[in-house]
Amino acid sequence: MHAIRLHAHGPAENLTYEEVPDPVPAAGQVLVHVEAAGVHLIEARLRGGTAVGPHQPPAVPMTPGGEVAGVVGALGPGVDEHWLGRRVVAQLHAAGGYAEMAVAQLEGVRPLPEGLDAATAVAVVTSGATAQGVLHVAALTPDDTVLVMSAAGGLGSLLVQAARHAGATVVGAAGGTAKTDRVRALGADVAADYRHPDWPARVRAALAGRGVTVVLDGVGGTLGRQALELLEPGGRFLLYGWASGEPTAITTQDLVARQLTATWALGPQSLPAGGRDELTARALEEAASGRWVPLMTRFPLSKAAEAHAALESRQVEGKVVLTT
């Protein structure tokens, strides 16, 4: 089979397309004939040799990739025969997803809902579960006016669609005309370009004086702080990341003076009774039903180096997917 190999940490071009032996599933594993593999920015940073939080750069040589979708082609010892030939999406305990075949522990494998294609499945299996967790905390209602930051990104675009389906008024903020056009196409009532210094004033004008009741913030930094200032008294501020490099600065004085609630929207509080598995199932069902249409940029497997370079330079929209 062919796979992407990393022999030394460094730039994207260190990812090479090579012929390697077919993997063999061990006990409790299945072999997936990969149709699509998801690509994450954290994988690009680890490839470069940079630690990301608790995640250390991988030992090399190795094949990156933590999520795949395709058809089960072989079973390891002890795996029930009913898995053979099933279309599945799998989150891998180890790497190995940038390949024509990958092995997955059975506990990380889910059957694909009917009508859900492989690329869409990998686009939502991780980001979609995270979005579902944020939404579990947000508890949006039709009375809310929701500001989604980075609304043209893989996660933000799902949150825009979910807020719209909840009946809320949706403000999507993104950088640049192309991205704000995309936010409008997703169904946002207001699309704000936060490259403009006066973007908060433009949001206020578009809302005709109404305040924002909920902010979903994965950007942080100055932009996150500007979003916080748009909240009306009693509003809710949910953080789930800081793409800018630093979290939004919030003080207890902010909370007391304006009766705000600020919450880190990941972790235990984001989990329903069914835990992470329930979030993943919800995400796949939303995609299968057509209520969620994830933004994707596709590259052939052989062009994984180009995919990493484009992701790092922010030249892509939504989820990056490798197809075989």
The pLDDT of residue 63 is: 98
Tell which residue, 95, 104, 89, 232, has the closest CA to residue 171.
Answer: 232
Distances (CA, A) of 95 to 38, 92, 102, 297: 11, 6, 9, 21
The rounded Cα 128 to chain-centroid distance in angstroms is 6
Crossing angle of the two packed helices 127-138 and 275-289, in degrees rounded to 10: 100
Mark residue 231 as left, alpha or beta (left: phi above 0; alpha: psi -120 to 50; beta: remaining): beta
Please state, in angstroms and rounded to a whole number, the distance separating the CA atoms of residues 188 and 90: 31
pLDDT score of 130: 95
| Contact call for residues 307 and 25 (beta carbons, < 8 A) | no
> pLDDT tens string for the chain (324 positions)?
999 999 999 999 999 999 999 999 999 999 999 999 999 988 999 999 988 878 899 999 999 999 999 999 999 999 999 999 999 999 998 799 999 999 999 999 999 999 999 999 999 999 999 999 999 999 999 999 999 999 998 899 999 999 999 999 999 999 999 999 999 999 999 999 999 999 999 999 999 978 999 999 999 999 999 999 999 999 999 999 988 889 999 999 999 999 999 999 999 999 999 899 999 999 999 999 999 999 999 999 999 999 999 999 888 878 899 999
Is this prediction's pTM over 0.75?
yes
Tokens matching residue 236: 């809710």
Between CA 268 and CA 261 the distance in angstroms is 18
Would you say the C-alpha torsion 146, 148, 149, 152 has a positive or negative sign?
Answer: negative
**DSSP result, 74-131:** EE-TT--GGGTT-EEEEE-SSS--SBSEEEEEGGGEEEPPTT--HHHHHHHTTHHHHH
